[in-house]
């Protein structure tokens, strides 16, 4: 009788644990692509870990390359080179300034002296411009995370700066005229089943 009661208790606990997992929506990044705008810079995006699940976030790595024959000064706020980024369902920059969005998290936010972090939904920046050169033919990379509990719903999202819509501004080494850089970066997210084999 005691053994049967113990097994019943274990089964009940497992059911509660599974119910907890089933209650958490999980996601998978199925596609990430870039339509670059004409500029001396080029950005590429690759999917590191596609699964935004209970155990860990999904990850995207952005690589920025200077394709010109001379150094380019890249400017941003918060962290360098790409700053604070977000995902928005809006396909145009005009509509991305407001409305729902999902933070693209970077662990550097928590260590930057220019970013104040209370949580992934409560953070800010002092907006001090951070400017560094990228040499001709050189690349710089940054990895960002997508946490499943930050995602509003599955669908196609677009990458924008969180506080300023462009990803960054840039200027040639002999100019103080900074231009905006806003390639069209799309990320497709689908809901992921928590049941084995699906």
- Residue pair 167/161 in contact by the 8 Å Cβ criterion: yes
User: What pLDDT was estimated at residue 97?
Assistant: 81
Joined tokens for residue 189: 């997210």
Q: What's the mean pLDDT in 78-96? A: 94
Q: Answer whether residue 132 is part of any domain.
A: yes
Q: Answer whether residue 16 is part of any domain.
A: no
Give the end-to-end CA distance of the chain in Å, rounded to a whole number.
38
Question: Three-state DSSP class for 5?
Answer: helix
Q: Answer whether residue 6 is part of any domain.
A: no
Can you give the CATH number for the domain in which 98 is found?
2.60.40.2360
User: What pLDDT was estimated at residue 93?
Assistant: 87
Total residues belonging to the chain? 198
Q: Answer whether residue 2 is part of any domain.
A: no
Q: What's the mean pLDDT in 117-146? A: 97
- Residue pair 85/144 in contact by the 8 Å Cβ criterion: yes
For 158-170, write each residue's pLDDT tens digit.
999 999 999 999 9
Q: Answer whether residue 53 is part of any domain.
A: yes
**Residue 5 pLDDT more than 60?**
no
Decide which of 153 and 19 is more confident.
153
* 21 confidence band (pLDDT: 50, 70, 90): very low
Range of the domain at 172: 25-192
Q: What's the mean pLDDT in 145-149? A: 96
Q: Answer whether residue 14 is part of any domain.
A: no
Joined tokens for residue 169: 């501004």
**Residue 13 pLDDT more than 70?**
no
Q: Answer whether residue 17 is part of any domain.
A: no
Decide which of 82 and 12 is more confident.
82
User: What pLDDT was estimated at residue 168?
Assistant: 96
- Residue pair 167/178 in contact by the 8 Å Cβ criterion: no
**Residue 195 pLDDT more than 60?**
no
Question: DSSP character for 105?
Answer: B
User: What pLDDT was estimated at residue 68?
Assistant: 95
Distances (CA, A) of 165 to 15, 38, 52, 90: 45, 18, 24, 11
Q: How many domains does the chain have?
A: 1
């Amino acid at each position: 009788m005691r053994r049967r009661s113990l097994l019943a208790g274990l089964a009940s606990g497992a059911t509660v644990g599974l119910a907890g997992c089933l209650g958490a929506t999980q996601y998978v990044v199925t596609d990430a692509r870039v339509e670059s705008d004409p500029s001396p810079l080029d950005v590429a995006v690759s999917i590191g870990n596609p699964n935004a699940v209970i155990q860990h976030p999904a990850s995207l790595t952005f690589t920025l390359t200077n394709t010109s024959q001379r150094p380019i000064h890249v400017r941003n706020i918060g962290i360098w080179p790409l700053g604070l980024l977000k995902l928005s369902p809006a396909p145009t920059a005009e509509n991305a300034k407001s409305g729902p969005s999902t933070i693209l998290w970077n662990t550097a936010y928590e260590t930057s002296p220019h970013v104040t972090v209370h949580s992934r939904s409560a953070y800010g920046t002092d907006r001090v411009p951070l400017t560094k050169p990228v040499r001709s033919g050189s690349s710089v990379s940054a990895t960002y995370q997508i946490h499943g509990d930050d995602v509003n719903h599955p669908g196609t999202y677009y990458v924008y700066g969180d506080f300023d819509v462009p990803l960054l501004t840039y200027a040639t080494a002999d100019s103080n005229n900074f231009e905006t850089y806003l390639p069209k970066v799309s990320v497709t997210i689908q809901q992921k089943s928590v049941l084995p084999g699906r």
